[in-house]
Amino acid sequence: MMVRKKIPEKSVERICRYREILLEYQSIGKEFIFSHELASEVRVSPAQVRRDLMYFHLKGVPQQGYRVSEFLYEIDDLIDPKEVQDVILIGVGNLGKAILSYFTHKRPKLSIVAAFDVDANKVDRVISGCECFHMRDLQKFTREREIKIAIITVPAQEAQAIANTLVESGIRGILNFSPVLLKVPADVYLECIDITTSLEKTVYFSRGRR
Amino acid sequence: MMVRKKIPEKSVERICRYREILLEYQSIGKEFIFSHELASEVRVSPAQVRRDLMYFHLKGVPQQGYRVSEFLYEIDDLIDPKEVQDVILIGVGNLGKAILSYFTHKRPKLSIVAAFDVDANKVDRVISGCECFHMRDLQKFTREREIKIAIITVPAQEAQAIANTLVESGIRGILNFSPVLLKVPADVYLECIDITTSLEKTVYFSRGRR
DNA sequence: AGGCAATTGTGAATTAATTAACAAATTGTT
DNA sequence: AACAATTTGTTAATTAATTCACAATTGCCT
């Protein structure tokens, strides 16, 4: 079987954004898209778009561009898991709820199947369309359902302990929103969204403009 | 007056993370830190840390490392605005609330001074420690207080319109959490946090590991 | 059908980011 | 007071990411 070239993070990120735009195009009935159209939507160069396209084999035609449906098919094939991926979320605070309601049915291949919290008001209820369990069942659930992906939205102090539990239970990837630089083994993929850093960056780069 | 070298985004990001660790060190009373300690905390190479340090002039001493307090001072001096920056947040849903409560007194130089929403239950109340006004006052407030930074946490459909209003009112930087690729003039800094893309990335890179 | 204009696909060139490497400096030790 | 062991600061080397540039296509127009 042929091994697909490994795709760098940056490209995967851009490809996900392309999909967003392509879905929009599809929804308004446009059948074709040019590299420069996609590029201007995503704020990259047309050359960059075409370069990213080399990771999969999409044939565009000069004067016409790429067929949107075909483009989307290729992205799905490249990026999406083959089977539906079950994801869990830990920490049903404001942030957790935002993510839950946000993700419901966003992508057919991604499904947040359970949320966990310690708060009795949340446990055993459906919150933002997702069933919420007590934290004490986290490990059991993760193991039995063989969950590979988790989203952490708990306060800073608890984050590392939860990450540890998850790793122990066989998690392969963590999307972390808690304001802590988690430590996980090198073979567990860790994506961190650090809101403070983002704001600080915004402030920094906003100065010295005009 | 000497012009400070322009610092690339990646370095600013790392420097913000360094600060996080340094504050931790400070809080547990450690006076010095080595480049390799900081590096392992932030998951970069020691050489990278030292390289980043070249953007400001911090003298470390062999065998001892960098003085934490001095290090923090230099970061503040480099990254933080000289005066307190007033920031506003638009969209007091779950995500907005999460950010509000999260940021209160997080950084002395950054202050979310107002939030905006259309919901009558939120307007004219203090939510997560922040005063909430009606959306219709957004432009007036932004102009009068000369707000330069805004955080957008509204649903997708409204995001672009709000961005337009903000730009018109003189905003210089936007931190956008709404799932839309906003269009703003090139001289307005735009930082986007795209939760969907992050999750998709996590899923993608979690496969093919063990 | 032939020519014009636009757009793709991809090596080559460029620029940016990271790592390697090592002299200079400093501390503690004998 | 010389030595050994570290760790810094920085230049050079390497690797990664982006842009350039242009031949090869294709559609459209006359």
Model pLDDT for residues B61-77, shown as the tens digit of each residue = 999 999 999 999 999 99
Among the candidates A30, A45, A76, a domain finishes at A76
Same structural domain, B67 and B164: no
Same structural domain, B126 and B191: yes
What pLDDT does B210 receive?
A: 47
Has residue A153 been placed in a domain? yes
Has residue B13 been placed in a domain? yes
**Which three-class secondary structure state does DSSP give residue B97?**
helix
B94 close to A98: Cβ distance less than 8 angstroms:
yes
Has residue B174 been placed in a domain? yes
Same structural domain, B105 and B191: yes
B122, B156, B86, B32: which is closest to A199 by C-alpha? Answer: B86
Q: Residues A120-136: what's their mean pLDDT?
A: 97
Q: Which nucleotides of C are covered by protein (CB under 7 A)?
A: 5-11, 16-21, 24-28
Same structural domain, B134 and B58: no
Same structural domain, B16 and B115: no
Q: Residues B181-206: what's their mean pLDDT?
A: 96
CA dihedral A93, A99, A104, A108 (to 10 degrees): -140
Same structural domain, B60 and B113: no
Cα-based distances in Å from A35 to A41, A51, A59, A93: 10, 10, 12, 41
User: Which residue in chain A has the smallest CA separation from B197?
Assistant: A16
Q: Whole domain around residue A181: which residue ranges?
A: 85-197
> In this structure, what CATH number is given to the domain that contains residue B50?
1.10.10.10
Contact A203 B21 (CB under 8 A): no
Tens-place pLDDT, residues B92-143: 999 999 999 998 888 999 999 999 999 999 999 999 999 999 999 999 999 9
Has residue B205 been placed in a domain? no
Strands B130-134 and B125-127: antiparallel
Rounded to 10 deg, the angle between the B195-206 and A94-103 helix axes is 80
Same structural domain, B154 and B181: yes
Among the candidates B18, B53, B77, a domain finishes at B77
Has residue B104 been placed in a domain? yes
Has residue A163 been placed in a domain? yes
In this predicted structure, the answer to whether residue A77 has a pLDDT above a threshold of 70 is: yes
Same structural domain, A91 and A71: no
In this predicted structure, the answer to whether residue B19 has a pLDDT above a threshold of 90 is: yes
B207, B168, B105: which is closest to A110 by C-alpha? Answer: B207
Rounded to 5, what percent of chain B is helix, strand, coil?
A: 45, 20, 35
B98 touching A, CB under 8 A?
A: yes
Has residue B192 been placed in a domain? yes
Contact B79 A187 (CB under 8 A): no
User: Which residue in chain A has the smallest CA separation from B85?
Assistant: A203
The gap from C-alpha A42 to its chain's centroid, in whole angstroms, comes to: 17
Among the candidates A54, A76, A98, a domain finishes at A76
Higher pLDDT, A106 or A130: A130
Tens-place pLDDT, residues B154-165: 999 999 999 999
How many Å apart are CA B183 and CA A69, to the nearest integer? 25
Same structural domain, B173 and B107: yes
> In this structure, what CATH number is given to the domain that contains residue B171?
3.40.50.720
Contact A97 B94 (CB under 8 A): yes
User: Which residue in chain A has the smallest CA separation from B86?
Assistant: A203
Same structural domain, A97 and A193: yes
Q: DSSP letter at A65?
A: B
Other beta carbons within 10 Å of B139: 14
Same structural domain, B96 and B58: no
Residue A32 CA and nucleotide C7 C1' are separated, in Å, by 13
Contact A187 B193 (CB under 8 A): no
Cα-based distances in Å from A119 to A124, A136, B7, B32: 10, 11, 44, 40
Q: How many CA atoms lie within 13 A of A178 on its CB side?
A: 25
In this predicted structure, the answer to whether residue B5 has a pLDDT above a threshold of 90 is: no
In this predicted structure, the answer to whether residue B11 has a pLDDT above a threshold of 70 is: yes
Residue A66 CA and nucleotide D26 C1' are separated, in Å, by 13
R_g (Cα) of chain A, nearest Å: 20
Q: DSSP letter at B84?
A: P
Rounded to 5, what percent of chain A is helix, strand, coil?
A: 45, 20, 35
Q: Residues A86-96: what's their mean pLDDT?
A: 98
Has residue B172 been placed in a domain? yes
Strand C close to A60 by CB, under 7 A = yes
Closest partner residue to A17 (CB to CB) among B17, B107, B197 is: B197
The gap from C-alpha B179 to its chain's centroid, in whole angstroms, comes to: 18
Same structural domain, B94 and B191: yes
Overall domain count for chain B: 2
The alpha carbon of residue B210 is apart from the nearest alpha carbon of chain A, in Å, by 7
How many Å apart are CA A202 and CA B156, to the nearest integer? 20
